[in-house]
Structure 1
């Protein structure tokens, strides 16, 4: 499938304000500053559709982008450290869980993991929610171009073991384009029911 159009639709504070037009959704989740916005832009071949920031925690709502008029990419707030008030951070976990629980159009969540960081309880919680709510997941390493081959293999083993991931983790780089074709293929397969 070719990306012909991509446009921002709405920022929602919870699942009750999300679009309910029946279009399938692919959500992107990960820690604050993992590179979600950059990866979504790269997958869509757009430079500035999703706003990026060096400041962790910039995405504070559930952001919807309609792709080709047929489906949504959903940019979820990053979990973990963020330079935002504690009361805002405290709303994110319930918002994410509500979205995962109450969105029947959700086809999969692309879980982004920074290869340079060890997984923690927030990553484990996200994966547990996905399993609990039977939401398919695609696992993606971001910033894979920052590590050499040995560092990559060590990080892959640490993350897979630490989070109990048996599926392939797709190494990606929004900068170099590494892994983007594979990620697009896997997303489009999920959207078409393959």
Structure 2
């Protein structure tokens, strides 16, 4: 599939600094170090579009990427385990909650999960919020190259038994092997109406 035509627009410290609340916007959410930036780079097929780091917690702002139709992909700060103060982590949680409660143009979420770790409590909270609000979401089980095929299937089955989700919204991903990138691109195109 053709890569998404994403361009970096800006880094915003709060929702007040985001672009006008119109059109379509999706957010990439997940724990620190699950590979959000790598997935953005893979779906756009641009190596350093989103800055990657081996140090958890590097994404500390809302990083905004635009598409040709003025829709947007927002890379959120990772939650949990970031090597930053608890006060900073609490600030990120507040900004995420503020975004979810007030941003009207939100068309969907991609929740990125390290397949080796599975869903964690905050992932489940966000999924619950999506379910309650009727917001479209998918789960990208990233780093699938780190497990055997059998282990990947077991990880998928565990999630299907834990939450109510259509199997087509549970996407096995590996940025290294480009697994699942086509499926994510298709999902984003649908959510962003492009």
Which stretch shows the higher mean deviation, 114-123 or 44-53?
Answer: 114-123
Cross-structure match for 2:191: 190
> Residues 21, 122 of structure 1: CA spacing in aligned structure 2 closer, same or farther, 3 A cutoff?
closer
- Which stretch shows the higher mean deviation, 4-13 or 44-53? 4-13
2:3/2:185 contact within 8 Å kept? no
1:54 aligns to what? 54
Q: 1:6 to 1:190 in 2, by over 3 A?
A: closer
TM-superposed deviation, 1:31: 0.9
Q: Is the 8 A contact 1:6 1:65 kept in 2?
A: yes
Matched, 1:110 2:110: yes
Is contact 1:100-1:133 (8 Å) kept?
no
Cα distance in structure 1, aligned partners of 2:86 and 2:6: 33
Aligned-pair Cα RMSD in Å? 1.8
Partner SS for 1:65: strand
- Change in Cα spacing, 1:3 to 1:125, as seen in structure 2 (3 Å) is same
Ranges in structure 2 where 5+ consecutive residues have no aligned partner: none
Q: Which runs of 5+ in 1 are unaligned?
A: none
Q: Does the 8 Å CA contact 1:101/1:133 hold for their aligned counterparts?
A: no
Query: 1 CA distance for matches of 2:97 and 2:82?
Result: 18
Alignment of 1:9-158 (within 5 A): 9-20=9-20, 22-158=22-158
Report the Cα distance in structure 2 between the residues aligned to 1:3 and 1:71, rounded to whole angstroms: 15
> Aligned pair in 2 of structure 1 residues 165, 30: CA closer, same or farther (>3 Å)?
farther
Indicate if the aligned counterparts of 2:3 and 2:43 stay in contact, CA closer than 8 A. Answer: no
Deviation at 1:188, TM superposition (A): 0.9
Instruction: Indicate the SS of the match to 1:107.
Output: strand
Is residue 173 from structure 1 mapped to residue 178 from structure 2 by the alignment?
A: no
CA distance in 2, matches of 1:4, 1:121: 31
CA contact (8 A) 2:24 2:191 kept: no
Q: 1:152 to 1:3 in 2, by over 3 A?
A: closer
Relative to structure 1, the CA distance from residue 95 to residue 133 in structure 2 (aligned partners, 3 Å threshold; closer, same or farther) is farther
Structure 1 moving runs of 4+ over 3 Å? 1-5
Tell me the secondary structure at the aligned position of residue 184 of structure 2: helix
> For 2:4 and 2:109, how far apart are their aligned partners in 1?
22
Q: How many residues align?
A: 192
Q: TM-score, normalised by structure 1?
A: 0.91
Q: Alpha-carbon deviation of 1:134?
A: 2.8
8 Å Cα contact 2:21-2:104 kept in structure 1 = no
Looking at structure 2, the residues matched to 96 and 7 of structure 1 have their Cα atoms a distance apart, in angstroms, of 22
